[in-house]
Structure 1
């Protein structure tokens, strides 16, 4: 998340329309698209001419990204698609040719954007445009250290757009077209001062008409400054008068996002129509948060979706609760009350089959998982026995676990619990077909590894036979596995338990626990502050980092995005040892919460929840409350570099400045060479070499200096010693050079060089 380069200033901005933002006027629906842009909209540029790595006389470089064409010219850029075009001019800037990171090939088709740089566009300022993983274009301003003609180098940056501008209440720059809006995210800034992160206030500065600059308050040009939006995108799902709630989220290998929840009225253009009262909805979004399709599942009464999973073929599986039969179920609706349902959709949202699980009384499916053979596993709660259970129903309510094959046929079901109230909430399955569940029990059962009642975790084999169960000190809300078979459980607790890594605070705290494959507690920790914090979901990435989604009623930690008010969704990252890495809040000044969380393999985290007001810069707008929301957060993994040598490794006091060659491994673009903990201007040569500028002022005193490298994510290397040596003096004359025996004492003048 934290992007860092050793320059005196680093401005990082996202242009969200290139992430697939829909252009909507107040009178247009989400499905409508403008046919043309009027007034100030420019025509779509024609194809560029390329001559073996050198642009033609138009000084133009043209690239494609996320359905748009980008024209980079010496005086600005144009961002265009078939329906809109945005022109951006650099004012009071030098005439600088855009330079690509790779040679331009002789081709009639514009290539995909990589990186384009305008070197020294303003005095001491370079500008870089580059494509990110998610297809959003980043614009990055670098202000070099040292004196510039401007008293404040930031004031030199002046941009003119071809459309009207405003800054909204959230600090985003809004570009107003006749058919809708584009947005550039609010900058977030901090400086590194003596090894500590110091927050800076930064904002857009409207300069009149259609011109804009930046204001960074408290900027000290002696130290690096970072301006970095964290949130990649957020979007809302739902209708104007509907109550819309998202409960579960999943992501496939291509980064597409799937969400399940429920709505109380129809919205959009669903694959399967809304029926009545409340229906389960399922929605699919692309990597940029653009809605691809959504559908409704349900009958003539209420239906609620709680859990979702996706297989390697892009098929989607959901579970929840239905109060009446619908479609043509594989296993019929059997009770007078609600029953758990399972449904399979293909990658286009078409229903493949649905089935019901349960008996005469109420049954609810809360969690769902799918294995590599497309077998489906469901956890929930039942108020009576049903099926031919592996372990019998005990009474009151029991947690249930069920296995359904890829055709929707029940393979087995089993009950977990004692004579009191028990329910299952979260489920996960490993590559060996073992199933892990979590929930809550009012009395002991099984042969617990520890404890005798309360929140539980349990392991069941591929035939439904209980392997172990254990009791924990917090209500079980979600469960996840790492690649080594360790089990992670989250919930919430009103009191401390175990030997927590981070202590319990007060009221309700989110609780996270790690168990080994045998159910033995490895560690537990608490997340929260003075309010109530209730966990709703958990996931683990391929590196063993743990992400937890909660609802919080007060601020805590050192959040990347601040607490907004009332109740916010809360996201936290822990390392494999349970140590908090970061936390952030998502939401408005109203009532918001996160209910589901998922991670992909490239450092992105996805959350689903509900909000009662708009926030962020949503891809699909908030239209009335509450609406379901989905958000994507980028988490850049920590890469720790290693130093092996310095050239030179020493200098003498008073020597002129020089370029220090730092050799090692795992250096990243934007890495910084640190001189006794303070950054020095750094040039990235390769992943094994950096060049740092050492000034003459650094060589005024003889001493040993510790050289380290800090990557953009704050991964810090080992240290190597650089010695500043005092020079060896040389004598050339003495005055006087002799004296008579018995003469009076006098001053001796010693002449030479390299005295200190």
Structure 2
């Protein structure tokens, strides 16, 4: 007898917008394909080419082209190519949930740019460089850096290659690559003499060919390895196939290298293809983190976060950020296949980070924290930054190349946050926490800050120039907000952590359950001046980080249970469901038998199926294959509408910070399956686990029918 059953095949495509290598799994740094609890995960990583841009003012004038890569910066001029390596043991860009809100009351030192090392490639005896773009990728870059619109650069096309024609007689040079490897090909026309090629490296004290593998090693004066050129691939195309030609590197003298090439057909073109790899340079590379993800009705993905490797300039001969701060906020739009549609950078003279993102047909909304006095503004409801760090709210045009509006939002002390949601009228709702007594408040539920740190909720008018309402949300102790959602009636739902015994609770659970701080869920009236309900969610210490809604008006909250929140007690993930009346429907805890686990984001479909993401150091996280995190694993788990599960768990990278879900509308009883979008960070290797890159993963649930005897 044969029976059939339904199981889910979750296929994932890795979508990289930072030219990053494949997200590493926690133990082996290789993609896992686990099968458990009736769910099969087939992960299909998609490689992304390096991104090259013509210089249209976003870099110093001596560079004609700039390149974006993982762990390096590239500038191509009329006499060579300059590689900059940033020696960084970076502190991970922190979302509000990682912060102690009381730290905002402390003065924050302005950061300094990280030191960097340069290596410049010249071609001795060449005919000069005339670089040009090849193979347009279809994506664009936009740079809104600084307050002066005259310096903004938009609609800069992205290319997969830069070609320098006729660097020697009959020889072209082509730069390209994928993920964390930069390649440069010498393409020799029939009869061209390869002995013309002489690679001169400025910035390296010595060159040496590694006898074990043929790599060319560039080193400092104390023999510290700077970078490594893999043994070149040398071949000719014959009958549509690559036919290898024997050869390799040789050091001529000092800092000049060339190639040895054995017998080949001189009547046919020849390709010499060295590869530069940037895996372990001085234990550090630039840090990037994706903090939130959104998806539109057509399946396009939008990501915001913080990048230390965004735009380029030259100061004292060094390719580096054109600002005094280390980082910019970014917004990247990806096509349904993972291609970059646009990347837009937002920043000024200090550190900036995007923490929340939302999208509708009129544009893309991003919010976060800025320390920059010259953050790019347009149609601003607040034109000056009053405190050290404050909130920014920016709406981009659908193509990402125009600021519909961009504004500061804060008082004379400091704020953090950037949770954002939008309603059908294009109003934006922003939440976070503030230490300012003069945070802008209008038509609010609370007009005065009750303690040193208080949550806030602000609703911005569709045109961005005014506040519909803005309110404090807190009591007499430290309280903060980390997540926000908005329903069709224009009520905002917020969650976070409340340490105040007099936090404004109302409704089902009108006092703190007992933990301090306690996760809470508060539903504001559409006018923002009263509470429909406000409830504590836990008997013990918890922190709410994100909230989502289903069509029936149920609210779902994810976060961290940590009672007590101190070592050696492990954290657990909690997920709670609250009814439309504000009554707790269920509350679930998830963790392994060892290690800590934290919930960072949540998404819910119309029927209440729920996806939760975060990070864990547990080797036995429920529903997942056994592994050893390195030191953490990013997890995605699914629960049904009643909190049963995990129906499946999957590991991706080191931390998953954002999740969004789309599900087609079913007709005539047709079964439809969701698509899940996640964003986070992964470790890139090297000597320090703080080396990070951002990633986005798109997962499709599809039915698979199996017959079994």
TM-aligned CA distance change 1:290 to 1:509, over 3 Å: same
- Structure 2, unaligned runs of 5 or more: 1-6, 11-39, 53-64, 70-131, 137-175, 178-239, 245-270, 276-283, 314-320, 664-672
Partner of 2:398: 347
Partner of 1:337: helix, strand, or coil?
coil
Partner of 1:480: helix, strand, or coil?
strand
Partner of 1:359: 411
Return the offset for 1:387. Answer: 2.3
TM-aligned CA distance change 1:408 to 1:570, over 3 Å: same
Partner of 1:494: 562
| From 387, 390, 408, the counterpart of 2:464 | 408
Does 2:335 align with 1:286?
yes
Instruction: Map 1:622-701 onto structure 2 (within 5 A).
Output: 625-636=691-702, 671-672=705-706, 679-680=708-709
Partner of 1:547: 611
Q: Is the 8 A contact 1:23 1:34 kept in 2?
A: no
Aligned length: 424
Which whole-Å CA distance do the structure 2 matches of 1:610 and 1:470 have between them?
A: 32
Partner of 2:8: helix, strand, or coil?
coil
Which whole-Å CA distance do the structure 2 matches of 1:578 and 1:625 have between them?
A: 36
Partner of 1:242: 286
Partner of 1:572: 637
Partner of 1:368: 420
| From 649, 667, 686, the counterpart of 1:583 | 649
User: Deviations along 1:476-512, whole A, 9 cap, x unmatched?
Assistant: 1000001110000011112499xxxxxxx96100110
Which whole-Å CA distance do the structure 1 matches of 2:571 and 2:9 have between them?
A: 34
Partner of 1:232: none
| From 495, 498, 513, the counterpart of 1:438 | 495
User: Deviations along 1:672-724, whole A, 9 cap, x unmatched?
Assistant: 45xxxxx15xxxxxxxxxxxxxxxxxxxxxxxxxxxxxxxxxxxxxxxxxxxx
Partner of 1:525: 588
Partner of 1:260: 304
Partner of 1:559: helix, strand, or coil?
coil
Partner of 1:534: 598
Structural RMSD (CA): 3.8
Which whole-Å CA distance do the structure 2 matches of 1:163 and 1:491 have between them?
A: 53
TM-aligned CA distance change 1:3 to 1:569, over 3 Å: closer
Which whole-Å CA distance do the structure 2 matches of 1:23 and 1:462 have between them?
A: 46
Which whole-Å CA distance do the structure 1 matches of 2:385 and 2:690 have between them?
A: 36
Which whole-Å CA distance do the structure 2 matches of 1:180 and 1:541 have between them?
A: 48
Return the offset for 1:424. Answer: 0.6
Partner of 2:310: helix, strand, or coil?
coil
TM-aligned CA distance change 1:252 to 1:20, over 3 Å: farther
Which whole-Å CA distance do the structure 1 matches of 2:563 and 2:243 have between them?
A: 54
TM-aligned CA distance change 1:291 to 1:519, over 3 Å: same
Partner of 1:2: 8
Partner of 2:37: none
- Give 1 or 2 for the bigger CA radius of gyration: 1
| From 501, 519, 523, the counterpart of 1:455 | 519
Q: Is the 8 A contact 1:20 1:290 kept in 2?
A: no
Which whole-Å CA distance do the structure 2 matches of 1:514 and 1:672 have between them?
A: 34
Partner of 1:315: helix, strand, or coil?
strand
Q: Is the 8 A contact 1:316 1:346 kept in 2?
A: no
Partner of 2:535: 470
Return the offset for 1:442. Answer: 1.0
More moved, 514-523 vs 306-315? 306-315
- Structure 1, unaligned runs of 5 or more: 5-10, 37-82, 85-160, 166-176, 182-239, 498-504, 616-622, 638-669, 674-678, 681-756
Return the offset for 1:584. Answer: 1.2
Return the offset for 1:321. Answer: 3.4
Q: Is the 8 A contact 2:553 2:580 kept in 1?
A: yes
Does 2:565 align with 1:508?
no
Q: Is the 8 A contact 2:352 2:368 kept in 1?
A: no
Partner of 2:476: 419
User: Deviations along 1:509-564, whole A, 9 cap, x unmatched?
Assistant: 01100001122100011121111101111111233210111111123123269555
Does 2:454 align with 1:398?
yes
Which whole-Å CA distance do the structure 2 matches of 1:2 and 1:561 have between them?
A: 20
Q: Is the 8 A contact 2:683 2:690 kept in 1?
A: yes
TM-score, normalised to structure 2, is 0.54
| From 595, 599, 604, the counterpart of 2:657 | 595
Q: Is the 8 A contact 2:9 2:701 kept in 1?
A: no
Q: Is the 8 A contact 2:331 2:366 kept in 1?
A: no
Partner of 1:310: 359
| From 605, 622, 636, the counterpart of 2:676 | 605
Partner of 1:367: helix, strand, or coil?
strand
TM-aligned CA distance change 1:496 to 1:526, over 3 Å: farther
Partner of 1:242: helix, strand, or coil?
coil
Which whole-Å CA distance do the structure 2 matches of 1:164 and 1:424 have between them?
A: 61
User: Deviations along 1:310-362, whole A, 9 cap, x unmatched?
Assistant: 11344333333344242335122241322111000112212222111111110
TM-aligned CA distance change 1:162 to 1:519, over 3 Å: farther
Partner of 1:301: helix, strand, or coil?
coil
Which whole-Å CA distance do the structure 2 matches of 1:598 and 1:250 have between them?
A: 6
Q: Which structure is higher in RCO with an 8 Å CA cutoff and minimum separation 6?
A: 2
TM-aligned CA distance change 1:365 to 1:357, over 3 Å: same
User: Deviations along 1:565-591, whole A, 9 cap, x unmatched?
Assistant: 31111111000111111111112xxxx
Q: Is the 8 A contact 1:265 1:274 kept in 2?
A: no
Which whole-Å CA distance do the structure 2 matches of 1:397 and 1:362 have between them?
A: 10
Partner of 2:702: helix, strand, or coil?
coil
Which whole-Å CA distance do the structure 2 matches of 1:533 and 1:287 have between them?
A: 31
More moved, 321-330 vs 356-365? 321-330
Partner of 1:559: 624
